[in-house]
Amino acid sequence: MEIKVSKTNSSKLKSVDFNNLQFGRIFSDHMFVADYENGEWSNLQIVPFSEFSLSPASATLHYGQTIFEGLKAFRDKNQEVVLFRPEYNWERFCQSAHRMCMAEVPKEVFMNGLRKLLEIDQEWVPKREGSSLYIRPYMFADEEFLGVKPSSKYKFVIITSPAASYYSGAVKVKVEKKYVRAAEGGVGMAKNGGNYAASLYPAKLAQDQGFHQLIWTDSKTHEFIEEAGTMNIMAVINDVLLTPSIEKQTVLRGKTRDTILKLARVWGMPVEERPIRVSEIRDAQLNGTLNEVFGAGTAATVAPIATISIDEVSYEIPHLQEGSFSQKVSKYLVDLRLGNVDDEFNWMQKAF
């Protein structure tokens, strides 16, 4: 499928301060768009980053049939633009689309659109270490109809944004036992907009108390940790890496999560993907066996957690310890992107 390209004649690149990037505020010059109608994708285009026109009756505005992905483009040590496991994002995008009853985006539309966009906006990939070009593919329902049914029209879009890490410094989280992110049989495994909208109110209550984020618990008992919404949660107790399993589909199938689990196994570290009680984290902290807790996500990368509040009691947990597992894995991932270590899983790819 051919991609039509119309370039901007007023690039914003020169106005960007690449030394002071915030997450998700600045967007590169172009975007990729494609339309789905009558059962097929067409109008594949790279156009200047610009507004859409949308019918006030567009289904997405009413019933939230919308999904997204997040991945990053980096520069390796030779300044080449590289991607990390982009097919994983396409696969998860398809799973989200399936659960939200939306059209599937063919792999070639997703990947070719992404690669062409990166080629055109390659100067937007930051050169500074620790920064990257955050890539946001998304799709929304675009049928003009107020009946509740799957839309017959969709728009698939990719925008990009030069960014530093989502969290800077150690993270303070609160274990949430009243509100719920996902229930079994629900849409927790999908990266749909509504999951994030529903998290805002409980997250705001926590932010008003000085926390960055919540750790969600299971909807039935609130006794088991699930994820943090912007990242998966991992703990090391007694040198065993623990993380909630994704089996019940209430936890997002994170790419960073999957990567870290594979690395830990190859490095010979014991790994357990299983239900984790909140009390297990608290007891381990109290009896000195908690090595660390950290979040793992594309935007968040590997985010060490400094404070966890459980039932109104705040625990200061070990973080940023020299030689800790999270430090080792962070360093490895940076080296992998730069091309300083052998890419034994073939995770890195040239972007174009």
The count of chain residues that interact with ligand COI, using the rule CB under 6 A, is 7
Among the residue ranges 39-47, 180-188, 295-303, 338-346, the one whose residues contact ligand COI (CB under 6 A): 295-303
Buried b / exposed e over 266-303, threshold 16 CB at 10 Å, is: eeebebebebbebebbbebbeeeebbbbbbbbbbbbbb
Residue 298 as a binder of ligand COI (CB under 6 A): the answer is yes
Phi–psi pair at 174, nearest 5 degrees: -125, 135
Least distance (Å) between residue 229 CB and ligand COI: 7
Subset of 70-89 contacting ligand COI (CB under 6 A): 70
Give the Cα separation of 206 and 214 in Å (integer).
7
Residue 230 as a binder of ligand COI (CB under 6 A): the answer is yes
Residue 244 as a binder of ligand COI (CB under 6 A): the answer is no
Least distance (Å) between residue 239 CB and ligand COI: 27
Short-list 263, 332, 275, 326, CA closest to 296:
326
CB 126 within 8 Å of CB 133: yes
Least distance (Å) between residue 225 CB and ligand COI: 18
Among 297, 302, 304, 305, binds ligand COI (CB under 6 A): 297
Each residue 34-73 as x (binds ligand COI by CB under 6 A) or -, in order, gives ------------------------------------x---
Residue 299 as a binder of ligand COI (CB under 6 A): the answer is yes
Q: Is the dihedral of CA 60, 64, 65, 66 positive or negative?
A: positive
Least distance (Å) between residue 346 CB and ligand COI: 22
Rounded to the nearest 10°, the torsion over CA 8, 9, 10, 12 is 50
Give 39-52 as a DSSP string.
Answer: TEEEEEEEEES---
Q: Is the dihedral of CA 280, 203, 193, 232 positive or negative?
A: negative
Q: Which is nearer to ligand COI, 70 or 304 (CB)?
A: 70
Chain contacts with ligand COI (rule: CB under 6 A): 70, 166, 196, 230, 297-299
